[in-house]
Amino acid sequence: MSGRGPRRGATEAYGGEERRAHRLPHRLETDAEEVQRDLVRLVLTVVELVRQLMERQALRRVDSGDLPEAKVEELGLALMRLEEAMKELQDRFDIDARDLNLDLGPLGPLLPPE
Protein backbone atom coordinates (compact mmCIF):
# COMPACT_ATOMS: atom_id res chain seq x y z
CA MET A 1 0.00 0.00 0.00
CA SER A 2 1.38 3.41 -0.88
CA GLY A 3 1.59 6.36 1.47
CA ARG A 4 -0.58 8.56 -0.70
CA GLY A 5 -3.77 7.71 1.07
CA PRO A 6 -7.01 6.31 -0.35
CA ARG A 7 -7.38 6.38 -4.12
CA ARG A 8 -9.92 8.88 -5.36
CA GLY A 9 -12.50 7.94 -7.97
CA ALA A 10 -12.33 9.31 -11.52
CA THR A 11 -15.06 11.88 -10.96
CA GLU A 12 -13.47 13.14 -7.78
CA ALA A 13 -10.14 13.54 -9.52
CA TYR A 14 -11.69 15.94 -12.01
CA GLY A 15 -13.72 18.03 -9.62
CA GLY A 16 -16.59 15.75 -8.73
CA GLU A 17 -20.10 15.41 -10.06
CA GLU A 18 -21.12 18.96 -9.17
CA ARG A 19 -18.36 20.49 -11.28
CA ARG A 20 -19.11 18.25 -14.24
CA ALA A 21 -22.84 18.98 -14.06
CA HIS A 22 -22.18 22.66 -14.79
CA ARG A 23 -20.40 21.85 -18.06
CA LEU A 24 -22.79 19.26 -19.53
CA PRO A 25 -26.27 20.15 -20.72
CA HIS A 26 -29.09 18.52 -18.83
CA ARG A 27 -30.73 17.47 -22.09
CA LEU A 28 -29.44 16.79 -25.54
CA GLU A 29 -31.18 18.43 -28.48
CA THR A 30 -33.11 15.66 -30.21
CA ASP A 31 -35.32 17.66 -32.57
CA ALA A 32 -34.49 16.14 -35.98
CA GLU A 33 -34.65 19.47 -37.81
CA GLU A 34 -32.38 21.18 -35.29
CA VAL A 35 -29.89 18.33 -35.39
CA GLN A 36 -29.87 18.47 -39.20
CA ARG A 37 -29.40 22.25 -39.15
CA ASP A 38 -26.50 21.95 -36.70
CA LEU A 39 -24.85 19.27 -38.83
CA VAL A 40 -25.22 21.41 -41.95
CA ARG A 41 -23.78 24.35 -40.02
CA LEU A 42 -20.74 22.30 -39.01
CA VAL A 43 -20.17 21.03 -42.55
CA LEU A 44 -20.57 24.52 -44.01
CA THR A 45 -18.11 25.87 -41.45
CA VAL A 46 -15.48 23.37 -42.57
CA VAL A 47 -16.22 24.04 -46.26
CA GLU A 48 -15.99 27.80 -45.67
CA LEU A 49 -12.65 27.41 -43.93
CA VAL A 50 -11.30 25.34 -46.83
CA ARG A 51 -12.78 27.80 -49.37
CA GLN A 52 -11.05 30.74 -47.70
CA LEU A 53 -7.75 28.86 -47.59
CA MET A 54 -8.06 27.94 -51.28
CA GLU A 55 -8.89 31.51 -52.17
CA ARG A 56 -5.85 32.85 -50.36
CA GLN A 57 -3.60 30.26 -51.99
CA ALA A 58 -5.02 31.10 -55.41
CA LEU A 59 -4.41 34.81 -54.86
CA ARG A 60 -0.81 34.11 -53.85
CA ARG A 61 -0.26 32.04 -56.97
CA VAL A 62 -1.88 34.67 -59.21
CA ASP A 63 0.21 37.43 -57.61
CA SER A 64 3.41 35.42 -58.09
CA GLY A 65 2.59 34.68 -61.75
CA ASP A 66 2.58 30.88 -61.26
CA LEU A 67 -0.70 30.34 -63.10
CA PRO A 68 -1.46 30.69 -66.79
CA GLU A 69 -4.36 33.02 -67.64
CA ALA A 70 -6.70 30.11 -68.48
CA LYS A 71 -6.11 28.55 -65.06
CA VAL A 72 -6.73 31.88 -63.35
CA GLU A 73 -10.14 32.11 -65.06
CA GLU A 74 -10.95 28.48 -64.26
CA LEU A 75 -9.99 28.88 -60.62
CA GLY A 76 -11.92 32.11 -60.25
CA LEU A 77 -15.03 30.53 -61.75
CA ALA A 78 -14.74 27.47 -59.47
CA LEU A 79 -14.40 29.67 -56.37
CA MET A 80 -17.40 31.78 -57.41
CA ARG A 81 -19.53 28.64 -57.93
CA LEU A 82 -18.50 27.29 -54.55
CA GLU A 83 -19.44 30.58 -52.89
CA GLU A 84 -22.83 30.56 -54.65
CA ALA A 85 -23.49 26.98 -53.51
CA MET A 86 -22.56 27.96 -49.96
CA LYS A 87 -25.01 30.88 -50.03
CA GLU A 88 -27.79 28.64 -51.39
CA LEU A 89 -27.30 26.15 -48.57
CA GLN A 90 -27.13 28.93 -45.99
CA ASP A 91 -30.42 30.31 -47.30
CA ARG A 92 -32.02 26.87 -47.42
CA PHE A 93 -31.17 26.09 -43.81
CA ASP A 94 -31.52 29.69 -42.55
CA ILE A 95 -27.86 29.92 -41.52
CA ASP A 96 -26.20 33.33 -41.40
CA ALA A 97 -22.57 33.67 -42.48
CA ARG A 98 -21.76 34.77 -38.90
CA ASP A 99 -23.09 31.41 -37.65
CA LEU A 100 -20.23 29.69 -39.47
CA ASN A 101 -17.52 31.48 -37.54
CA LEU A 102 -17.14 29.36 -34.42
CA ASP A 103 -15.83 31.03 -31.29
CA LEU A 104 -12.80 29.09 -30.07
CA GLY A 105 -12.63 30.90 -26.75
CA PRO A 106 -9.14 32.19 -25.94
CA LEU A 107 -7.99 31.32 -29.49
CA GLY A 108 -10.54 33.68 -30.99
CA PRO A 109 -12.81 33.03 -33.96
CA LEU A 110 -12.17 30.08 -36.28
CA LEU A 111 -12.47 32.08 -39.50
CA PRO A 112 -10.57 35.28 -40.15
CA PRO A 113 -12.63 38.33 -41.08
CA GLU A 114 -13.10 38.75 -44.81
Q: Rounded to an integer, what distance in angstroms lies between the CA atom of residue 66 and that of residue 98?
A: 33
pLDDT band with cut points at 50, 70 and 90 for residue 88: very high
62-78: pLDDT as tens digits: 899 888 889 889 988 99
Closest CA to 82 of 37, 47, 41: 47
Mean pLDDT for 44-69 is 88
Q: Rounded to an integer, what distance in angstroms lies between the CA atom of residue 43 and that of residue 50?
A: 11
**Residue 81: predicted pLDDT:** 93
**Residue 84: predicted pLDDT:** 93
Give residue limits of the domains in the chain.
32-99
Q: Rounded to an integer, what distance in angstroms lies between the CA atom of residue 72 and that of residue 86?
A: 21
**Residue 21: predicted pLDDT:** 47
Q: What is the mean pLDDT of the chain?
A: 78
